[in-house]
């Protein structure tokens, strides 16, 4: 079964790493009989009256486990992980929730709200009733993004894959140039944005610029691609300053 472990607001603007790295490092401290299958970055509303470090994004680790009996161990691992990497000035939040939790429905609704409006910590706790949600320093505002991250990731219609593991290979291990067939074999769907309707055939090369980040759409990793002026296929997304 899938268990979601979400982190938010674990960094500061000058600490040298973002929450994305902290989420990826979490794989190294997973309890036995768990494995990381992916990490999804969720972009939440950016507005002047909403505190955030750089982009107001949260990261959700998708953990595969036999059953939800592992949740207490995951909560402890997540709590210890934040404590071990705590940065003064950050406001970390942690949410841990199984895919079959009764809280999922409310977390989905809460996550969608976070895309368009400012919400409160009390509303986050209310949405997460039935699963684990905790703050770990500062204002504890990270609980908002953590709760939203779980809901949006489970919903499967929002987010960008920060990590994706398939047959032992990590997303960052994929070469800058691959065939469309290779990406499909990795589990990534190819979505052409060309008005002509043309899509890459299996043996055509797709360039990712050294930054391959499929979107989460219909619960699957989907890679939007376009043709450049030279007729070469490239991913349509580019790296931001900090993620």
pLDDT digits (tens, 9 = 90+) for 50-67: 766 666 789 999 999 999
Q: What's the mean per-residue pLDDT of the chain?
A: 92
Nearest to 243 by CA among 5, 51, 39: 39
pLDDT of residue 243: 41
Q: Could you give the percent of the chain with pLDDT greater than 70?
A: 94
Residue 124 has pLDDT above 70, yes or no: yes
Q: What residues does each domain of the chain span?
A: 2-161, 174-235
Buried b / exposed e over 10-29, threshold 16 CB at 10 Å, is bbbeeeeebbbbbbbebbee
Q: Which pTM value belongs to this model?
A: 0.92
- pLDDT tens for 219-237 read 999 999 999 988 899 999 8
> Would you state the CATH architecture of domain 2-161?
2-Layer Sandwich (3.30)
């Amino acid at each position: 079964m899938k268990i979601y472990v979400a982190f938010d607001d674990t960094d500061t603007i000058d600490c040298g790493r973002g929450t994305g790295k902290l989420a990826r490092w979490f794989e190294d401290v997973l309890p036995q009989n768990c494995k990381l299958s992916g990490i999804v970055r969720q972009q939440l509303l950016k507005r002047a009256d909403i505190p955030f470090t750089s982009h107001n994004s949260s990261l959700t680790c998708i953990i595969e486990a036999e059953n939800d009996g592992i949740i207490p161990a995951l909560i402890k691992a997540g709590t210890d992980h934040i404590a071990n990497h705590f940065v003064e000035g950050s406001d970390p939040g942690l949410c841990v929730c199984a895919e079959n939790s009764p809280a999922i429905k409310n977390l989905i609704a809460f996550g969608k709200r976070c895309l368009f409006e400012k919400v409160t910590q009390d509303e986050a706790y209310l949405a997460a009733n039935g699963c684990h949600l905790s703050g770990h320093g500062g204002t504890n505002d990270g609980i908002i993004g953590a709760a939203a991250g779980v809901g949006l990731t489970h919903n499967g219609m929002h987010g960008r894959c920060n990590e994706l593991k398939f047959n032992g290979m990590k997303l960052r291990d994929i070469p800058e140039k691959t065939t469309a067939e290779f990406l499909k074999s990795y589990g990534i769907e190819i979505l052409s944005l060309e008005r002509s309707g043309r899509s890459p055939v299996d043996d055509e090369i797709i360039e990712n610029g050294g930054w391959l980040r499929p979107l989460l759409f219909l619960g699957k990793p989907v890679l939007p691609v376009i043709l450049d002026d030279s007729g070469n296929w490239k991913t349509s997304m580019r790296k931001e300053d900090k993620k």
